[in-house]
Each structure stands twice: as structure tokens, then as C-alpha cells.
Amino acid sequence: MQRLLQRSQKQNKALQTIHKRVLIHAGIALWTIIVTIALIFGMSAAWYTNVLQTSGLQFQAEAWGFNGKVLVTDAPTEAGPGDTGIVGLTVTNSSDDLLYVAVNLSKTQMTVPMQQRLYFYVDIATESNGESLDRVYINTQKSYTYSLLAHSELVLTEKRSNDAMLKWQWVYDMEGYYFLGSLMETTDSAGNVTVVPTVEDYLRPVEYDLDTAIFSDGFLTEANGKPLDQFVKELSETDGYAGDITPGQWQGYYKVDVDENGYGIWMYICNWAEIQQATIYDTQLGKTAAQAIENGTERENYLARLTFTGQVSHNDFKEVSTAEEFIAALNEGGMIKLSHGLELSEPIVVNGGAKAVVDLAGCTITGPSNNSTLVINDGSELMVMNGSLVGTDGTQDVITVSGSSLTLSGVNITGESDDAIYVVDQGSSVDSCVRIFNSEITASSCAVYMRGNGSSQDGYTQVIIENSTLTSDYMAVLGNGTQRYWGTDVQIYQSTIHGYYAAVYQPQGDSITRITESTVSGLTGVVIKGGDLVVADSTVMGTSEQPENPTYLGSGFSDTGDGIYIECGYANTIHVTVEGEFSNIISKKAQAVRVFEPDSVYANVFLKGGAYSSDVTHLLREGYSYDASSGIVSAVKGASNE
């Protein structure tokens, strides 16, 4: 009988799932709902002139007080079950000090069903309580802190992001959740006992594959192909909370971090009836929204309240004068300042999750022979500013980064070395993020050489280059095309990049490269053999005087001399977009944009604007034209453009 019940419920669940998906996919408008994000500005220390901006909302703060205006957006976020999106945010630190911006979130102004569905998180892999997490959920209990060096900017938008994305998620199926609160029993007049949770905050969702799950007597018994106790054990090992999840005395409730009075963090796994009821709720929500659109009335508005707290860190630096003192200070973490230049005989290693800020104070660190100058690994975070790093003859890499975060600001890297910055994430459970701000790198090999960690993480190894100059005698920015090294995201903004053979060579199938308001050049300007490339309001130049004919190579590429050379020999899907009226794609002796082979099914080219040194008519999509007299691509007036 038990086995028959399981089978019957699974069949009913499959029909319910199909019905729900038909409802959802019948029309996106049916599910749209407005989510308003409000910013609260809090100060725990003096701010200088700083600006916070999100989706049309703007807050301005000056020293010792709040002064400014709020512009209410006329384009709130529209969301539905299964949707995700980002919270657009810009923070400018105009001060001479390091700035920390902590983000918290409250959903208390939402209805309880929406609190159970909508979550906010930072899209970064990290570790907490010895457990690996692929994201950090933001709520009243957990914040995320962004660090901004002096006169720098934090930008988190769809088109440009120089730190971990702040995102929202509406769970598709309400299968369970973690919450902060307590439980109590109530007894009705008939003697029936009911468990009533008192919830202060819904912290993060519980998710599994509902289509393959098995329920018995209405309760979950198997998820993701594993018995319930094994599924819960694996949740406990990856949720970032200390200790093991243990069953409570009431079915469906589990203790995560609960005190002797029953207060703390609980986990709840919904039963089948609740999952069905949630689907009915979502369906009715969609119908109500659709009716509001039809009647021209306001739809339901749900308010999520984000709190940003800014704290300025003044000159609380520990001064060091020797390599030994420097290494000891790095191991302790905190803020460090050099009083003298250093010549190293061994690499300086930052590991064990250490977090440090280093002010070189105009000094120079000279690297050792046959080794790296700085090695940053094991989830460490290092910020370096105001000085120079020099590689000597035989230096391997000036900086090696693995599964960690590195930020450079006002740093010059020069000298002989294999690579100036080597990002090597293979085998790491954490994606590295390298930020290069207001810096200059001159490299005999690569300025930045990247190896991602393939598919071992959902995120990307990030390299962000802003307001900087990178020059290389080889290739300035280089990705490794071996599949296990895929998964890199390169963003170049308001910078100048020159590589002898190419400014950027990206052969990775799973990769993102975005060049914005920059100038990049090489014998061949940009070479791409996989992933997505977006060029926006930038100049890309191929400078070769003796260009080679394109040919498929097992590794590397021909010096075709093109502005953008797209080669399909690796059979990777490639998407190339050029946009913005200020884009200029130039080749001295070859083609502005070349696809090899031109009829390849792997290349998708979308030229939405810009000027080109050669005819690109053959690459245009419907609704766009090329003017031979000016070389400009533009949208055809009145045409439907993609």
C-alpha cells in the first residue's frame, strides 16, 4: 500500500508540474510582479562625498550628514517564479581613505508568502564555517561587505560589474526554507496540536529537483535521488552554518543553530500539500497581475529594503620595513604600510584565507629569481596600492592568484617575468577575482594569463581592468583554451591594452569578454575562438603590415592583422557584439571583422553600431546597414532591430 501511494503521488505531481509549466510559459506577462528596492543609507563613520545609485534611485551623502534627493524609478523590476536578476548599484568613494560598504536586507514589508519565495544573494563562491558556498545569501542575519580603495568606484550592473553581483531570486517551486525564529505548540478545543512558527526572517531557500522527488503520506522521502536523511546531511555540509542539521520534534522542522530556548535558525521542508498550495498561490498571483494590466490598474508592489552601511578606514596601517616583518604582518591580516623597498629572495605567500590591505607608499618590491613575487591562494583577499612590483631576470610570475581575490590600485608592474599576473584556478573550489584599477603593467610575456576552473564552479574567474594600461611583448590578456580551464570573465573599461601579437586572445568556450570605452591593439587586435565578446564604444586595431592568411591551428592563431578575428576551428559557440556610436574597428592591411570560416555555424556576429575600416555588409543582420562612404553601421530607421 505504501509503494502504491508513492507511485500515485508521483504521477499526480508530474501532472501538476506539467500544468504549472503550461501556465507559466503561456505568457510571461501573466507572471510579472513589481519588486521595489529601497535603499537606506546608514553611517557608522564620517563619509566624504559619496553617491549610491540603483535603478533610478539616487542617494547622496556628505561628511557628517545626509544631503541629497531620491529619484523614484518608473521602471521597477518585474519578476516571476524561476526568475533571477541583479540589483543595479553604483558606489563612488571620493575620499582618500579605504571604504567598507556592508549590505543587509529586510523583507518584513512583504507578505509572508513572498518572503518565502524571494531571496537576495551575492554571486560569489566563498567559505563559511569550513563549508564551501557558491553564493552568499543576504538577509537580516548575514551581510556582505564591499571594499573600495580611495577614489574608486563599485559598479554592479548588467553590462559592467567590478565586484560580486548583488542578485535576487524568486524560487520556482517553494520546497522549503531556512528561517530565524522559534516554534510553539497550540492546542485547539478538540485537543489537536498544531505547530506555529514565529518567524523573524526567511534566510535562504531549500531547493531540489521536484520532478524526481518522492513523497510518502504527503511528506518528502527522497530528493535528488537520495534518501531524505542523506539529502539533509548534504544540505548541512553546504549551507555555511556551523554544526549539523538535526530533526526537530515536529515533522518537516530541523534544527540548524538553535539555543536551549528553541530560538535560532531552523530549516523547514514543505510537504506535498503545501507545495501544491504554493502553486495555486502563484497562479492566482499571475492572474491578478494580468487582470491589473488589462484594467490599467496598479499591480501588487512588494518592497525589499536594502541597507548600506559605509565605514571609512583611516590611516590605521602597521608600518613594516623588512621582508620578515612584511610576511608576519600579512599572516596577521589587517592594514600594512611599507617604509622601505624590499628585495625578495623567496616569494611572499598569502594563504589560509588571510585578508590584508598593503600600502606600498611609493616603494618598490623586487621579486626573486626563478619564483613568483606574490602568491595568493586558499581564499585569501589582498589589496595592494600606491607602489611598484618589479620582476627580475628569471622571475616566474610577478603575482600568482589561485582561488582568491586580488585588487591593485595605483600599482606599476614591470621587469622580466613569465607573466605579470597569472590567475590559475584549476582545482580550486573558489573563483578568483582580480581587479586592476589605475595601474600600469608592462610585461615581456602576458600582462594577465588566465586559467579558470572549468565547470567545477557555477561562477566565473573574473579579471577586471579599469583605467589602466597593459602592454605586452606577447599577448596582453590571454586565456587557456583547454576545456578544464574554461570559465573566465574579462571586463576592460576605460583602459589601453596593447599586445604585440594581440591585445586579447580568448580561446575558451565558456567565457565572457567585454571591452568598454577602451583602446586595444596588436598585430591582430582581438582574437576570439569561443564564448561571448562585447565591444562597446571602443577602438580595436589590427596593426600588422604583413598579415597572414587565416588557417586552423591546434594552438594559437594566424597573425591575420584583423581588428577582430573570429576563428571557429575549436567548434565552440561564439557570440560577438559591437555596439555604441563611438566604436571603431580598424585594420591596417586586413579586415575590420573576419569570421573564419565565413559560413561557420558556430559564429554569431551582431554589429549594432560603430565605424569599420572595411566593408562589413556581409556580417550585418536584418535592420542594419553599412555606409561605404563613412564606414558606419547603423540601424535602419523604422526597421525592427534585435
Of the given ranges (38-47, 218-227, 387-396), which has the lowest mean pLDDT? 38-47
pLDDT top residue among 596 and 315: 596
pLDDT for res 105: 83
Q: Judging by beta carbons within 10 Å of its beta carbon (0-12, 13-18, 19+), is residue 324 exposed, middle or buried?
A: exposed
Share of the chain above pLDDT 90, in %: 56
Task: Report the alpha-carbon distance of residue 447 to residue 408 in Å, rounded.
Answer: 13
Answer whether residue 290 shows pLDDT above 80: no
Least confident window among 110-114, 410-414, 476-480, 617-621: 110-114
- Give me the mean pLDDT over the 527-538 stretch: 97
Q: Give me the pLDDT at residue 36, please.
A: 54
Cα 512 to its chain centre, rounded Å, is 11
Residue 235 binned pLDDT confidence (cut-offs 50, 70, 90) = very high
As a whole-number percent, the residues of the chain with pLDDT over 70 amount to 85
Region 240-259: mean pLDDT is: 92
Residue 629's SS3 state is: coil
Distance, in Å, from the CA atom of 596 to the CA atom of 593, rounded to the nearest integer, reads 10
Higher local confidence (pLDDT), 6 or 154:
154
Amino acid at 224: N
pLDDT digits (tens, 9 = 90+) for 77-98: 667 788 888 877 777 777 777 8
Q: Residue 256: pLDDT above 80?
A: yes
CA contacts within 13 A on the Cβ side of 64: 0
Alpha helices in 171-322 (DSSP H): 228-236, 272-295
Q: Give the list of residues 6+ apart from residue 344 with CB closer than 8 angstroms, or none.
A: 323, 365, 366, 367, 368, 373
Peptide bond into 324 cis (omega under 30): no
- Mean pLDDT over the full length of the chain: 84
Please report the pLDDT score of residue 9 as a whole number: 43
pLDDT digits (tens, 9 = 90+) for 38-68: 544 444 434 444 454 554 444 443 322 222 2
Q: Give me the pLDDT at residue 2, please.
A: 31
Secondary structure string (H, E, C) spanning 102-133 = EEEEECCCCCHHHHHHEEEEECCCEEECCEEE
Of 386, 387, 344, 396, the residue nearest 364 (C-alpha):
387
- For residue 10, name the pLDDT band (cuts at 50, 70, 90): very low
Whether the pLDDT of residue 612 is over 80: the answer is yes
SS3 299: coil
pLDDT confidence bin for 322, thresholds 50/70/90: very high
Find the DSSP H helices in 188-322: 228-236, 272-295
Give me the pLDDT at residue 280, please. Answer: 86
CA distance 168 to 289: 20
The C-alpha atoms of residue 248 and residue 241 are separated, in whole angstroms, by 17
One-letter identity of residue 300: E
User: What residues does 197 pair with on adjacent strands?
Assistant: 183
Residue 605 has pLDDT above 70, yes or no: yes
Q: Which residue has the higher pLDDT, 233 or 36?
A: 233
Among 48-62, 176-190, 297-311, 338-352, the least confident range? 48-62
- Quickly state the pLDDT bin for 189 (edges 50, 70, 90): confident
Of 141, 423, 419, which is closest to residue 266 (Cα–Cα)?
141
Which are the contacts of 322, defined by CB distance < 8 A and separation ≥ 6?
340, 342
Average pLDDT over residues 238-262: 92
Confidence (pLDDT) at 642: 65
Which range, 60-74, 407-421, 616-630, is most confident? 616-630
Is 37's pLDDT higher than 60? no
Q: How many CA atoms lie less than 13 Å away from 286 in the CB half-sphere?
A: 21
pLDDT in tens, 503-520: 999 999 999 999 999 999
Interstrand relation of 603-607 and 355-359 (parallel, antiparallel or unpaired): unpaired
What's the average model confidence in pLDDT over 402-422? 91
Q: Distance between CA 456 and CA 487 in Å, rounded?
A: 9
- What local confidence, expressed as pLDDT, does residue 456 receive? 58
Grid cell of 439 as nine digits:
595601474
More confidently predicted of 119 and 156: 119
Phi and psi at residue 18, to the nearest 5°: -60, -45
Question: In the predicted model, is pLDDT for residue 11 greater than 50?
Answer: no
Residue 67 confidence (pLDDT): 27
Residue-wise pLDDT for 323-381, tens only, equals 999 989 988 888 899 999 999 988 999 988 888 999 999 999 999 887 889 999 988 99
Q: How many CB atoms lie within 10 A of CB 231?
A: 20
